[in-house]
């Protein structure tokens, strides 16, 4: 039985570390918005300075960076920044959330006590950009020069890229708080050409010393792993918008349709006219707001999808497939072949999912004003010109994905990669050898891959005549040409061993590991190596040696030996896009770098949005994972890329708040946060049921409500949040939306995982100083 929550809005303010009740500072307008929310916010800060731990001098200069209203709850979000002498203090932000009657509901405070400023401007903007590049390990290949005359007291300008950035480099003066000193600095943004990093960096304006840096690229690099594939059957509850909500512009896409996540869920379907009227009023291929598509390729207002096989940040020629005048994007896939053979289908799936996420989260408040990703904002507020660059099958790596999020008005980039099974090869030893059987084997970063037919022949243990004679670190002695070389790991590089085997006439090389456990991929580079190679475990190697003489075969496994494409895994796509959502919503769309602290929950929000968006009525609390297709796992309910699957069963997922102290940053920290959100998700479903139509704003459906509260919480919370900040922001969002009807359900979820009423996060800059507690709010206690 749910108890009524008696704390009301006063409890939310208390949780925000304010001691006063909400106060009305202005009148409500006829449209349900306060007359001047910006003034209300500034007046509130000045009236409550002492309770916020600030002095009058700390708040003498305040700048409004962003201000907008969320339609569904009529809350106006105002974002402020401290200044000194008209110059911003970096990361000194405050979020105030004001209801339609002018009440301040929740404050996320990151204003600081400001010491006297220090430093002078000795460096020009180009000199500062050169120093920043040098401090970041980047080598300029061109002169950096001023492209725009400096403007205002912050000397805002643009300088040339210097060959280290994909775009011109914005520069401005800021104050950077460093070890209690307020130092004058040049702030620059450098997006590396390969897209691997997008730096927001500040260097001392006098000396060029690097004072602070934040990477705006969120990486999700995962070591290759896997299991046998077992595709599930197609579910019957595919989620599509109501016919009245769909855009009548004709277009069709053969894709893994929402809520299908990947090939693990079944076959692709031809989806017709999926764009929604509210989010994409002119369809997915328009950019001018007039009837008719401007593009017939996978490009439009929300995303431009293409391949970037050479990792130069530029679309491969002709890689954005053309659907023709009828916008029919229907391309074949052969999963037995390398993903490059079906790149048109992969790019189409990436285009579809980026648009789906855009349209769905538009309904939950990720709109133009909130900083979403669109070329044309169609007359709404916010800055346009920032559709997603969706780079499929990126050549910059394997087993990875990332998303970079600059400020509103600058284009983000999603880089999707191919995924490789850790042991893609199979070694077969023929009878009558005592080693007869099959063995898993890893591959190599050099030389050709094995074919599915493989290489057959005599398997011969090598002899190089020196030291450990079987390590092939020296030219081989008496090796029978045309045989498969069996050799031991150790002493020298893999490339040396395989090249020596090749020079002796080997048709392939089989390395036996010298340490226990599964073998990893062999690294190195040597373009002169023309034979394939593989490595088996220490145990397998010993068994094969004991079974010599023998014949056998080494081949690529026809199932797991073929790379998989992350562009076909909507869990990964949604996870990456989720980074864009959380970065734009936290502290407002004009602010970057607010999710670079140790206890920030970016990976957790992204994981949660991935499993929530692709939720189905047949799901249960027990097990969901992210990235299962890319990881060669059995089903969407497998473990995925985290330490465990997401589950409310503590015997499956035992994580609690204290685990952030020992798990990796940021992914382990995010795993704990997403576990807490998963608990809340299911508490709300138990109370309100499950709704198949994920596009609908919440009226019913616990899954819809959970997504809404998580999204709203990002808007409410402060810059550089910790777990308690995030929890309290969600509680405040529920107060604003439902008048607090779900407070006890939310408290129960967080308390179960150690983020209860008495929990203390300490500093959000540290993951090791928090204190977990399992008590609920007193008003919710039995």
Show which residues are catalytic: 576
* Residues 301, 310: Cα–Cα separation, whole Å: 25
The three-point CA angle 137-139-143 to 5° equals 140
Q: Which of 556, 554, 550 is nearest to 430 (CA)?
A: 550
Task: Report the alpha-carbon distance of residue 144 to residue 667 in Å, rounded.
Answer: 36
Cα distance between residue 328 and residue 250, in whole Å: 9
Full DSSP string of 153-178: TTTBEEE--TTT-SS-EEEEEEEEEE
**Angle, in degrees to the nearest 10, between helices 743-752 and 723-738:** 160
Closest CA to 75 of 42, 37, 111: 37
Pair of tokens at residue 63:
């700048």
Eight-state DSSP code of residue 491: S
Of the candidates 732, 761, 712, the residue with the CA atom closest to the CA atom of residue 107: 732
Distances (CA, A) of 195 to 213, 219, 646: 16, 11, 30
**Distance of alpha carbon 507 from alpha carbon 512, whole angstroms:** 17
Residue 258, token pair as written in the block: 């929402």
Let me know: does 379 contact 368? Beta carbons within 8 Å: no
Q: How far is it, in rounded angstroms, from Cα 446 to Cα 530? A: 9
Supply the DSSP symbol for 438: E
Pairing status of strand 181-191 against strand 169-178: antiparallel
Burial of 548 (0-12, 13-18, 19+ CB in 10 A): middle
Structure tokens of 448?
């050709």
Nearest partner of 252 among 288, 291, 296, judged by Cα:
296
């Amino acid at each position: 039985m749910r108890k009524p929550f008696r704390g009301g809005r006063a409890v939310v303010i208390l949780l925000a570390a304010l001691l006063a009740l909400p106060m009305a500072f202005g009148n409500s307008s006829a449209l349900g918005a306060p007359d001047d929310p910006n003034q209300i916010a500034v007046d509130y800060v000045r009236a409550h300075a002492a309770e916020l731990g600030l002095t009058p001098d700390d708040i003498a200069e305040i700048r409004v960076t962003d201000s907008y209203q969320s339609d569904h709850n009529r809350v106006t979000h105002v974002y402020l920044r401290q200044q000194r002498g008209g110059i911003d203090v970096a990361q000194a932000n405050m979020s105030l959330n004001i209801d339609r009657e002018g009440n301040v509901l929740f404050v996320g405070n990151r204003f600081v006590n400001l010491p006297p400023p220090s430093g002078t401007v000795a460096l020009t903007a180009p000199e500062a950009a050169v120093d920043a590049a040098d401090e970041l390990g980047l080598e300029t290949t061109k002169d950096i020069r001023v492209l725009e005359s400096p403007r205002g007291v912050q000397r805002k300008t643009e300088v040339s890229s210097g060959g280290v950035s994909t775009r011109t480099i914005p520069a401005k003066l800021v104050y950077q708080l460093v070890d209690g000193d307020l130092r004058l600095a040049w702030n620059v943004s450098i997006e590396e050409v390969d897209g691997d990093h997008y730096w927001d960096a500040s260097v001392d304006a006098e000396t060029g010393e690097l004072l602070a840096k934040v990477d705006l690229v969120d990486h999700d690099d995962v070591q290759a792993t896997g299991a046998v594939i077992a595709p599930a059957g197609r579910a019957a509850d595919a989620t599509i918008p109501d016919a009245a909500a769909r855009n009548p512009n004709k277009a069709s896409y053969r894709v893994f349709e929402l809520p299908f996540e990947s090939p693990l869920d079944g076959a692709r379907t031809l989806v017709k006219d999926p764009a929604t009227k509210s989010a994409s009023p002119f369809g997915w291929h328009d950019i001018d707001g007039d009837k008719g598509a401007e593009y017939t390729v996978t490009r439009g207002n929300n995303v431009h999808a293409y391949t970037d096989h050479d990792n130069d940040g530029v679309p491969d020629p002709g890689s954005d497939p053309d659907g023709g005048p009828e916008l029919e994007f229907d391309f074949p896939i052969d999963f037995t072949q390398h993903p490059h053979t079906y790149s048109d289908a992969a790019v189409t799936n990436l285009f579809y999912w980026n648009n789906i996420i855009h349209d769905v989260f538009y309904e939950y408040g990720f709109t133009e004003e909130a900083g979403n990703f669109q070329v044309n904002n169609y007359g709404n507020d916010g800055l346009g010109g920032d559709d997603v660059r969706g780079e499929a099958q990126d050549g910059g790596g394997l087993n990875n994905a990332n998303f970079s999020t600059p400020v509103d008005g600058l284009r983000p980039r999603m880089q999707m990669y191919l995924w490789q099974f850790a042991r893609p090869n199979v070694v077969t030893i023929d009878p009558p050898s005592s080693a007869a059987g099959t063995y898993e084997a890893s591959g190599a970063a050099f030389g050709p891959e094995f074919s599915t037919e493989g290489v057959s022949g005599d398997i011969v243990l090598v002899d190089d005549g020196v030291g450990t004679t079987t390590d092939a670190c020296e030219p081989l002695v008496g090796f029978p040409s045309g045989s498969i070389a069996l050799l031991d790991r150790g002493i020298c590089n893999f490339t040396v061993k395989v090249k020596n085997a090749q020079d002796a006439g080997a048709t392939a090389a089989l390395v036996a590991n010298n340490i226990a456990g599964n073998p990893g991929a062999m690294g190195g580079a040597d373009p002169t190596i023309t034979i394939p190679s593989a490595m088996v475990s220490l145990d397998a190697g010993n068994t094969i040696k004991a079974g010599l003489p023998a014949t056998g075969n080494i081949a690529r496994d026809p199932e797991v030996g073929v790379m998989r494409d992350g562009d076909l895994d909507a869990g990964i796509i949604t996870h990456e896009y989720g980074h864009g959502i959380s970065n734009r919503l936290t502290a407002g769309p004009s602010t970057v770098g607010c999710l670079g602290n140790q206890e920030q929950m970016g990976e957790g929000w992204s994981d949660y949005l991935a499993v929530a968006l692709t939720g189905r009525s047949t799901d249960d609390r027990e097990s969901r994972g992210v990235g299962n297709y890319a990881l060669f796992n059995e089903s969407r309910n497998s473990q995925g890329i985290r330490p465990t699957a997401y589950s409310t069963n503590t015997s499956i997922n035992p994580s609690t708040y204290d685990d952030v102290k020992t798990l990796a940053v940021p992914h382990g920290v995010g795993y704990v946060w997403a576990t807490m959100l998963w608990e809340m998700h299911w508490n709300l479903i138990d109370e309100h049921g499950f709704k198949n139509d994920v596009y609908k704003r919440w009226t019913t459906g616990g899954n819809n409500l959970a997504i809404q509260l998580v999204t709203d919480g990002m808007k409410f919370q402060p810059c550089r949040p910790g777990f308690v900040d995030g929890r309290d922001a969600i509680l405040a969002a529920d107060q604003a939306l439902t008048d607090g009807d779900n407070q006890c359900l939310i408290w129960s979820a967080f308390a179960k995982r150690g983020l209860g009423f008495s929990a203390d996060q300490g500093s959000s800059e540290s993951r090791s100083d928090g204190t977990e507690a399992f008590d609920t709010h007193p008003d919710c206690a039995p």
